[in-house]
Structure 1
Amino acid sequence: MIRTRSAALDSLTLGLTAALMLGTSAATAQEAPVIGLITKTETNPYFVKMKEGAAAAAKAKGAKLLTAGGKADGDNASQVTALENMVAAGAKTILLVPSDSKAIVPAVKKARAKGVLVIALDSPTDPTDAVDALFATDNYRAGVLIGQYAKAALGGKAPVIVTLDLFPGHPVGAQRHNGFMNGLGLSAPDAKSNELGKTSEIACMADSYGDQAKGQTGMENCLQRAPNVNLIYAINEPAAAGAYNALKKAGKEKGVIIVAVDGGCQGVKDVGAGKITATSQQYPLAMARMGVEAGVEFARTGKKPSGYTDTGVALIADKAVDGVTSLPVAKGAELCWGNK
């Protein structure tokens, strides 16, 4: 009797163990995919909105989102640390907006060697194939659009230009700057170059790091060298707002064309208020959503995205000019950040 009862108990124990193992396996298969998002900073409104978009997409897809950002644009060390921490935390996909397109590559290679899918958002790595895929604006095209608009808005006047750039060697900064020059009809390197084009029409160049305060300081310094400036190119709208503040402080805000890139909600308001003349609008919410969706697809099916996906760009201007297609401020406000 004792032997028979023991065998029955052993059989029951084995059955329960097997059932628990099957249940654990099924639960593991249904675990929320872990996706990381690393932005250049966590304070720039553009990246704040990207984070919001990623969070909404992750919630809709049943994924867990980890987020981090650099202390400032160009802070590669913080991004490397974030990458390593996210891999250790189990992220199978990492969405990355690289601050330093070259310096981040070794860390990306290590993550990919461990089977992590790495997708660049907004900005490419150098080389671009260091990541699995890129979802971004055509930044050169964005520059061309504001250059074309500026040329028409000048109405034949000779340009006296100040450029408030990002920082040396960054591909997005170079692409926007050189696209602007191309649209204006000036000689410039192509979209693949990380070098900024320079001509005699550019009276002063300053690095703004995409920051409003640095943009204002750069513009104040450039006003000493180019007091008769009539055209300002800014890497983004915070830098453009800084430029406007500097002009207003000097009593020179009238009659100066300011063009930028981003198309954020505040930037569009600034276009409507006459602080910025025109801006090229990009869509970080779309980038974030697409990145999260690709990450969830990879986690569940193993399918990887590849190559470059253009997430769109449109010119926003308060006043239309002949020969250049643009959207009015009201439409820009409707679409700002990618609300569509």
Structure 2
Amino acid sequence: MARTARRRPPLFVTAIAGLSAAVFLLAGCSAGGGGSDGGSTDKVHVTLITKDPDNHFWTAMVDGATKAAEDNNVDLTVAAGKDQTDADGQIRAIEDAIARGDNAILIANNGPAVDDAITKARDAGLLVIALDTPTDPLSLVDATMASDNFHAGELIGQWTAGALGGKKATIALLDLFGDKIVSIDHQRDQGFVTGMGIDPANDQVNGDEAARGTYSAGDYEIVCNQATNGAEDGGRSAMENCLSANPGINVVYSANETSGVGAVAALKAAGITDALVVSIDGSCSGIQSVVDGQFGAVAQQYPSKMGQLGVEAVIKWVADGSVPQPEAGLDFIDTGITLVTDKPVTGLDSIDSAKGLELCW
């Protein structure tokens, strides 16, 4: 497919502030690899779209993609929604990528409202790879590179069940969203429930498991299932609501570390210091929370690797038309998950916080 004419971006980094999407343009100064028509002088042009511009998970993903782009002389445009609820900002970034004639889009999508724009990009000839957040269906994109979010939840659930040592689990489940369905939300939550040894009922739906019963080592009660929007203030207010319902909560599942930090603040304010708080991400601040005893365990992901592999996949696709394929038995390219804790549970593989800090982002 012949590329349309384009204006080359300026040879410096530009930050455009005050918009609903934060955009940065990165460009090199020498000719690079072939474009989508195989021309020898065209550079590869990639747009990376994250959920928001500030969260350390997404900035780590940008760092990995930026390094790969610099190493391979790729023009990289980075855009984001203003927060994890902003689909319109992501849609505008997709439309901009189409208008520029980019080769590909790498996207961590903000929910199904973005689906039509993704389809429009593929119809325009762009390669679209989902990073971190699978689309529904997966076939909406050309490939998906992500952590196994269900397994991430399962690991911290298994750790929690083992760490309780048979005590009753009085559980608060702090999810991401209450107003939309995003796959990683139910995957992490339902993975945690399954890891605890609780029947998840429909593992595609949060909150439909039995409120009381037995887990793998004893009795449980689920006090609440609250949305946090993945934010610290959302985590704090959600935890406050849960404690109002039952101040005896001793297990807190948080879908991400940012909301987990808010939950810890609410627990401290209530004078509760012995609850087991677990989370998913693996940032340096999150692993430090393991060191400090605020989090009992964290499932560590590797967003920098997602960004790096995404850019490298686009380069290969431009060169020979090949699309990255998952390993046998998987329907996505697995970028890895590791359990980090300083209180290991027998029979469950983990690394300590010192090693986690070496691998954090």
User: Into which bin does the TM-score normalised by the smaller protein fall?
Assistant: 0.7 to 0.9
| 2:292 aligned to which of 269, 273, 294 | 273
Q: How does 1:274-313 map to 2 (within 5 A)?
A: 274-306=293-325, 307-313=331-337
Q: Matched residues in 1 for 2:201 and 2:75: separation? A: 42
Deviation at 1:196, TM superposition (A): 4.1
Please state whether the residue corresponding to 1:160 is helix, strand or coil: strand
Please state whether the residue corresponding to 1:79 is helix, strand or coil: helix
Aligned equivalent of 1:23? none
TM-score normalised per structure 1: 0.88
Q: What is the identity percentage for the equivalent residue pairs of Structure 1 and Structure 2? A: 40
Q: Matched residues in 1 for 2:99 and 2:57: separation? A: 27
| 1:320 aligned to which of 344, 350, 359 | 344
Deviation at 1:323, TM superposition (A): 2.1
Q: How does 1:1-340 map to 2 (within 5 A)?
A: 29-100=40-111, 102-168=112-178, 169-189=181-201, 193-200=204-211, 201-252=221-272, 254-306=273-325, 307-337=331-361
Q: Residue 284 of structure 1 aligns to which amino acid in structure 2? A: P
Please state whether the residue corresponding to 2:298 is helix, strand or coil: strand
Q: Does the 8 A contact of 1:178 with 1:197 survive in 2?
A: no
Q: Residue 290 of structure 2 aligns to which amino acid in structure 1? A: V
Q: Does the 8 A contact of 1:178 with 1:188 survive in 2?
A: yes
Please state whether the residue corresponding to 2:63 is helix, strand or coil: helix
Deviation at 1:229, TM superposition (A): 0.1
Seen in structure 2, the aligned counterparts of structure 1 residues 195 and 205 have a Cα distance that, compared at 3 Å, is closer
Q: Residue 158 of structure 1 aligns to which amino acid in structure 2? A: K
Q: Does the 8 A contact of 2:38 with 2:319 survive in 1?
A: no
Please state whether the residue corresponding to 2:172 is helix, strand or coil: strand
Aligned equivalent of 2:14? none
Structure having the higher Rg: 1
Deviation at 1:105, TM superposition (A): 1.4
Please state whether the residue corresponding to 2:340 is helix, strand or coil: strand
Uncovered stretches (5+) of structure 2, i.e. residues with no partner? 1-36, 212-220, 326-330
Q: Residue 198 of structure 1 aligns to which amino acid in structure 2? A: E
What whole-Å deviation, never above 9, does each CA across 1:53-84 have from its counterpart, x for those lacking one? 11111001110000111111121111111100
Q: Residue 351 of structure 2 aligns to which amino acid in structure 1? A: L
Q: Matched residues in 2 for 1:336 and 1:55: separation? A: 18
Q: Does the 8 A contact of 1:162 with 1:204 survive in 2?
A: yes
What whole-Å deviation, never above 9, does each CA across 1:203-230 have from its counterpart, x for those lacking one? 0111011111110111112110020000
Q: Does the 8 A contact of 2:177 with 2:228 survive in 1?
A: yes
What whole-Å deviation, never above 9, does each CA across 1:23-63 have from its counterpart, x for those lacking one? xxx99522220000000111111001111111111001110
Deviation at 1:190, TM superposition (A): 6.2
Q: Matched residues in 1 for 2:267 and 2:184: separation? A: 26
Q: Residue 280 of structure 2 aligns to which amino acid in structure 1? A: V
More helix as a share of residues: 1
Uncovered stretches (5+) of structure 1, i.e. residues with no partner? 1-25
Seen in structure 2, the aligned counterparts of structure 1 residues 157 and 92 have a Cα distance that, compared at 3 Å, is same
TM-score normalised per structure 2: 0.83
Q: Matched residues in 1 for 2:65 and 2:308: separation? A: 6
Aligned equivalent of 1:16? none
- 290-299 vs 318-327, which deviates more? 318-327
Q: Matched residues in 1 for 2:224 and 2:286: separation? A: 23
Deviation at 1:172, TM superposition (A): 0.3
Q: Residue 306 of structure 2 aligns to which amino acid in structure 1? A: M
Q: Matched residues in 2 for 1:106 and 1:214: separation? A: 29
Please state whether the residue corresponding to 1:326 is helix, strand or coil: coil
Q: Matched residues in 2 for 1:55 and 1:30: separation? A: 21
